[in-house]
Amino acid sequence: MDSLKQQIQSEYRRILAARNFRPRSGQRRMIAEIFNTLSRQGEEGGGAICVVEAGTGTGKTLAYLLGALPLAMESERKLIVATATISLQEQLVHKDIPQLLESSDLRFHFALAKGRGRYLCRLKLENLLHGDDSRAALRDLFAENPPDAASADLELWEEMRRELENGHWRGDRDEWREPLANDRWFPLAAQRGECSGPRCRLYRKCCFYNARFDLDKADCIVANQDLVLTDLALGGGVVLPAPEKSIYVFDEAHHLPEKSNRHFAHSIRVKAESAWLERSEKILGKMRDQQVLENHDVEELKKLLAELGNRLRMAYLLLRELRRSEGDSYRDRITQSFPRGEAPGELRELAGGLAALFGELENGLDRLREHFRQQLEDEGDTDAEKAETWFPAVGRLLDRAMTNRALWESYACADESGKAPRARWLGFDRERENAEADIGISSSPVLAADNLEKNLWQRCAGAVLTSATLSALGEFAMLRMRAGLPEHTSFLSIPSPFPFAEAASLEVPKMGCEPSEQQRHTDCIIRSLPRMLDADGGALVLFSSRMQMREVLDGLPEEWRRRVLCQDDHQKYDLLRRHRKRIDKGRASVIFGLASFAEGVDLPGKYLDHVVIAKIPFSVPTDPVEATLAQWFESEQRNPFMELSLPQAVFRLKQACGRLLRSETDRGRITLFDERLVRKFYGKRILDSLPPYRRELLQRDVSLQEPAAQAPKSTSCE
């Protein structure tokens, strides 16, 4: 290991010289911590795990590549760098890694990994171009709303085939000459359940598998966290190299626990599934008519589908009865969580029967798919041609049966004693409050700990988790708990090199009210913004509530409303582009955004000199997952506010404040409209967790200002 350490040190000096960089102490510490931790792989149970919180300006991308890649190559393992955003993926592939190769003597291959759905299926393309009647009928039965093969579609498909044949395109959706809308891409996209793999007659031309072969030759694979979690949920080694042969780097690692929960969550809509069962009966009937299935087999499956339909109708009636007169509003739906995730006994019993029946359907469809898989091997045979049509259809039926079985099993099975329960809840559409409205039923882990421990930490050769914000209240306890990090995990926090006290101020004005006094709090923000924001600068105003965001926007004077770019009215990328364009022209621009704008927004220099935060971003109490976790904490005699709500709020507040200073030369202000930071017992702990900005606490009294002249209501953000 000493020779490898010397090589890394030598490469670091070479890179600094080539790019005219000066050494950064935090970057050197991060390289050393990653290398030393990963060098101990295999010494403890599971892989070596290293957590590095690296403040903005540390240079963490170079640090984790240089600290982990030579070690991975030396041990003949793959380095998988998993990001949470597409923009960071693109930066790694198009900038950071090429620069590392150019400025060092390191020699390695790298590749970008994407999910199967980002690639075109050659067989689907051929079938669309041939206009096969039986396949068109199948698409109708699946209710996909297939394209009508208009001239524009035919021209697109023909052009795609030409580009594939002449080697100018590899079937990657993101590399097509123009963006493809979902409704135009979906009929062409490769799907796991529909794929027969090596038995497909176009396997050698397969866009997905050709890209997969590129991964086998790569030393460094750039992926996203969702793809890694999808691969782990499938058992690992299906899309990406197996965990045992991989060292992972999770950049923006604060997203990992929540993303993991989503990947192991289940959700269906009851009436939609009933309609799907009816369509499935028609599909089986069509199989019998085309003599690809024996009548006996069809009748057995149709009986099973009919019984499932009856049980789902019973479930729908029961769920309607279980609904209380009032529910919580969450993500534009009315939700009803079961306390501590405990479903009523009658629902658990019904769920057990449904899980068993969907399990039978799953087994029957699996046998049917294997039957067609065997027929595909007989090239040129009539049965093989029929199997090529029906294999994808059965695969899709099987995937949906598995989804239903998993959901109902999660309701039928009791939670393990002493461990966090699953969250279980119902969802109702706000706009369709009538007897025919569908009902959603969902369940999710409340902690990612068990799934990540079993599928990742105990199996991988090593892992690095890094981000600018991973700790809260000076500790990594929240990340350790939510991600289930093993005891032997190493932790390091590297502060940002930015001169916070010189560069930025943190102001908490005196408002005379708290956010719980919603109208007074909103009115105070409306009167204060025109007086606080510069007439020619760039500002970001962050809200925890969409309703408050809209009320503040509508209450501003007309001249200020024209300066606002609102998250509701633009895609994020387009909104940021418009903002930069305004600033470049010397005009003022104000962004109104929710939680998604509190991270991943990089507006350096003149593009952002004032961040305004409406209130401390405590979790929404109606989130079913967080509510269930808090209830479990209470049942365990633990304090959910101090252990969950407060650390999470600190974490989000640090992220929001972090939008201001993106380089060592940036300057600006942060304003927080929340006196609780000063007046509540927990305020000092929050303040001590933030960077050392200059503090201006309760110095400006905005509660005594006269109201600004209000303009007529407007729904436009431009």
pTM: 0.89
Could you tell me the sign of the dihedral formed by the alpha carbons of 336, 338, 341, 344, in that order? negative
Q: Please compute the mean of the pLDDT values over residues 469-477 and round it to a whole number.
A: 93
- Tens digit of each residue's pLDDT (9 = 90 or more) over 318-332: 998 887 654 555 555
Q: Please compute the mean of the pLDDT values over residues 244-267 and round it to a whole number.
A: 95
Residues 6+ apart with CB under 8 A from 666: 498, 503, 604, 605, 660
Confidence at residue 297, expressed as pLDDT on a 0 to 100 scale: 75
pLDDT of 284 above 70: yes
Distance, CA of 670 to CA of 657 (rounded, Å): 7
Give how far Cα 139 sits from Cα of 132, 157, 512, Å.
Answer: 11, 17, 61
Q: Please compute the mean of the pLDDT values over residues 488-516 and round it to a whole number.
A: 95
pLDDT of 708 above 70: no
Type of residue at 31: I
CB atoms near residue 206 (< 10 Å):
22
pLDDT of 714 above 50: no
State the average pLDDT for the chain: 89
Name the percent of the chain lying above pLDDT 70: 91
564 - beta bridge partners?
Answer: 590
Confidence at residue 433, expressed as pLDDT on a 0 to 100 scale: 56
Nearest CA-CA partner of 271 in 440, 442, 443: 440
The confidence band for 296, taking pLDDT boundaries of 50, 70 and 90, is confident
pLDDT of 518 above 50: yes
pLDDT of 229 above 90: yes
- Tens digit of each residue's pLDDT (9 = 90 or more) over 524-566: 999 999 999 988 889 999 999 999 999 999 999 999 999 999 9
Bigger pLDDT: 153 or 397? 397
Q: Kindly list the structural domains of the chain, giving each domain's residue range(s) and its CATH number in brackets, ordered by start.
A: 23-109+218-261+449-494 (3.40.50.300), 119-132+143-208 (no CATH), 268-444 (no CATH), 501-701 (3.40.50.300)
**Cα Rg of the chain, angstroms:** 28
The confidence band for 283, taking pLDDT boundaries of 50, 70 and 90, is confident
Confidence at residue 127, expressed as pLDDT on a 0 to 100 scale: 83
Q: Are strands 246-251 and 462-467 parallel, antiparallel or unpaired?
A: parallel
What burial class does residue 191 get, using C-beta atoms within 10 Å of its C-beta: 0-12 exposed, 13-18 middle, 19+ buried? middle
Q: Taking phi first (over 0 means left), then psi (-120 to 50 degrees means alpha), and beta for anything else, what does residue 329 get?
A: beta
pLDDT of 287 above 70: yes
pLDDT of 444 above 80: yes
- Tens digit of each residue's pLDDT (9 = 90 or more) over 611-664: 999 999 998 778 899 999 999 999 999 999 999 999 999 999 999 999 999 988
Distance, CA of 580 to CA of 602 (rounded, Å): 11
Give how far Cα 485 sits from Cα of 50, 255, 261, Å.
Answer: 10, 14, 15
Tokens of 395: 């695969």
Geometric angle at alpha carbon 121, from 119 and 125, rounded to 5°: 125
What phi and psi, each to the nearest 5 degrees, are found at residue 282?
-65, -40
Q: Please compute the mean of the pLDDT values over residues 409-418 and round it to a whole number.
A: 93
Type of residue at 199: R
Give how far Cα 148 sits from Cα of 122, 135, 180, 486, 550, Å.
Answer: 19, 13, 17, 54, 40
Q: What is the largest CA-CA distance in the chain?
A: 85
Confidence at residue 145, expressed as pLDDT on a 0 to 100 scale: 45
pLDDT of 436 above 80: no
Helix axes 546-555, 518-532, angle to 10 degrees: 50
The confidence band for 55, taking pLDDT boundaries of 50, 70 and 90, is very high
Q: Please compute the mean of the pLDDT values over residues 227-247 and round it to a whole number.
A: 93
Name the percent of the chain lying above pLDDT 90: 71
